[in-house]
Structure 1
Amino acid sequence: MDFEIGYIVAGLVVGFIVGMTGVGGGSLMTPILLHFGISPASAVGTDLLYAAITKAGGIHVHHKKRNIDWRITGELALGSLPAAALTLWILHSISVDTERLNSLIRTTLGYALIFTAVAILFKSQLMAYSRNNNGWLTRMTRRQQAIATIGTGVVLGAVVTLTSIGAGALGTVALFMLYPLLPTVRLVGTEIAHAVPLTLVAGMGHAGLGNVDWPLLLNLLLGSLPGIYLGSHLAHRVADHYLRPALAVMLIFVGGKLVF
């Protein structure tokens, strides 16, 4: 395997930011890969497997600390995994040329970046609103809540499979809105537990379509694994209210360029 210092550094930087803020994996890595000249389809497919591997360790840690609600994880997966499989089947079945497919992915990616940036910018306000105005949510029956969770999974499954973005920031915000009374750390752990199988299924599906660059993936992991470790240990030393707005502004800029 050829070692590409640019990809290793990209993995290191993105891993460090994810370790510091908990968000930004797909929303940063995919635009970076596009900047390196990787096709949108290959960037999305490679990033999905990258995300599955880098986040897998989080499941073990959060499970040991009892930060995962496996019932909610299962309901999300009940919607997201079939939606991911269906999206992959559609991508495989529709008779579009590579240029049109890349154009579709690029446009969808741009909108996903913008929505992710909004979710990052207004996460605190959304959380506060959800907790202070949870009357209709707490009046939902268990069956209604399960249906809403599965529906959320369907949307996440389609968006993540097409763009590799949304499993982190959008998924966590959606869970905050649906379960405003659960502790934040438990919702974050639950979203990570859901993101790993979703990105793994979507990534393997893209691999079957020939959309994964394996040498590129290995180079990214060489940088990201130590980056996440370092970022996680330094997270408490850097003010989150500086990092998240900077990340959101950058995502809006990149998303706007992709869409317009």
Structure 2
Amino acid sequence: MELAYIIAGLAVGFVVGMTGVGGGSLMTPILLFFGISPATAVGTDLLYAAITKSGGVLVHQRARNIDWKITGWLAAGSVPAAAATVLLLHNWHGDIDTVNRIIKHGLGIALLLTAVAIVFKQKLLTLAQTHASDWLAMPDERRNVYTVIVGLLLGVIVTLTSIGAGALGTVALFMLYPLLPTSRLVGTEIAHAVPLTLVAGLGHAGLGNIDWHLLANLLIGSLPAIYFGSKLAGRVPDRVLRPLLAVMLVVTGTKLVF
């Protein structure tokens, strides 16, 4: 089974490196397929994401692709929301069946939302650019409040499902900051995802929802695969790869919800 986990990490890492699609939307369903409980799959994937995304922060920081002010406003909502969600799960932890059921249904909904974000990403970005003047006219104080609210929603979703910090977070950021360059948008999203997934992951660790042996095997496969996948970025047409990923997420998400 160790080899299967390493191969899973390799496959997910390769796709993430090549496409930039968040690992959670791929890794967590794979872990469920292996028979890992929903709570353990989510908890393990959160720490997996925190570790694998940390390298991305260093790369983007060197390239000055991170807006730390936006990252701070997002974290002001997401980190407390993640901590509060963990406390809520702790209150239910005696009834592990209820926790797994809540996480399973939340995961299915998050997968469906991520699939929509992947398929309609370009249309959503175009819509944001079309109404850019309206967004830019918004007072900074109101935009900061909306950014905190987006962070709060992401904190709950990511803590429950380990999904959403990538595709959903990027689209939400672009709607609020339509003139932010794509490279800076991605760098800011990754910088925000690290503290969020770390806090949520450590919270799940406190609940005993981490399989440390599984985490090590996933990292063994994924870390080199992310590097090599990034070297092939752009070789596979986006219009081919994204719909295939979206179909997989819709099928998995529908199965989990219903």
Q: TM-score, normalised by structure 2?
A: 0.98
Any stretches of 5+ residues in structure 2 without a counterpart?
A: none
Structure 1 distance, partners of 2:92, 2:254, is 27
Deviation at 1:236, TM superposition (A): 2.5
For 2:138, what is the secondary structure of its paired residue?
coil
CA distance in 2, matches of 1:21, 1:244: 8
In 2, Cα distance between the equivalents of 1:34 and 1:24?
A: 17
Distance 1:95 1:160, change over 3 A: closer
> Where does residue 144 of structure 2 map in the other structure?
146
Alignment of 1:80-229 (within 5 A): 80-94=78-92, 97-229=95-227
Q: Is 2:36 the counterpart of 1:38?
A: yes
SS in 2 for 1:29: helix
1:149 aligned partner, one-letter code = T
Q: Which moved more, 1:200-209 or 1:86-95?
A: 86-95
Whole-angstrom CA distance in 1 between matches of 2:94 and 2:134? 44
- Partner of 2:29, secondary structure, is helix
Match of 1:17 among 15, 21, 29: 15
Output the CA distance in 2 between the equivalents of 1:96 and 1:255.
Answer: 26
The CA deviation string for residues 80-137 of structure 1, in whole angstroms up to 9 with x for no partner, is 0000000001111236511111011000000000000000101000001100112321
User: Which stretch shifts more, 42-51 or 129-138?
Assistant: 129-138
The correspondence for 1:8, drawn from 6, 12, 16, is 6
Deviant stretches of 4+, over 4 Å: none
Hey, what's the Cα distance between the residues in 2 that align with 1:75 and 1:15?
29
Write out per-residue CA displacement over residues 116-165 of structure 1, whole angstroms, 9 at most, x where no aligned residue: 00001010000011001123211110100000000000000000000000
Specify the SS of the correspondent of 1:236: coil
Instruction: Find the aligned partners of 1:19 and 1:258 in 2 and give their Cα distance.
Output: 26
**CA distance in 2: counterparts of 1:166 and 1:96, whole angstroms:** 27
Aligned residues: 258
Unaligned stretches of 5+ in structure 1? none
Query: Aligned equivalents of 1:55 and 1:240: distance in 2?
Result: 22
Distance apart, 1:60 and its partner CA:
0.6
| CA distance in structure 1 between the aligned counterparts of 2:198 and 2:65, rounded to whole angstroms | 21
Which among 74, 77, 85 is matched to residue 75 of structure 2? 77
Pick from 51, 58, 61 the counterpart of residue 60 of structure 1: 58
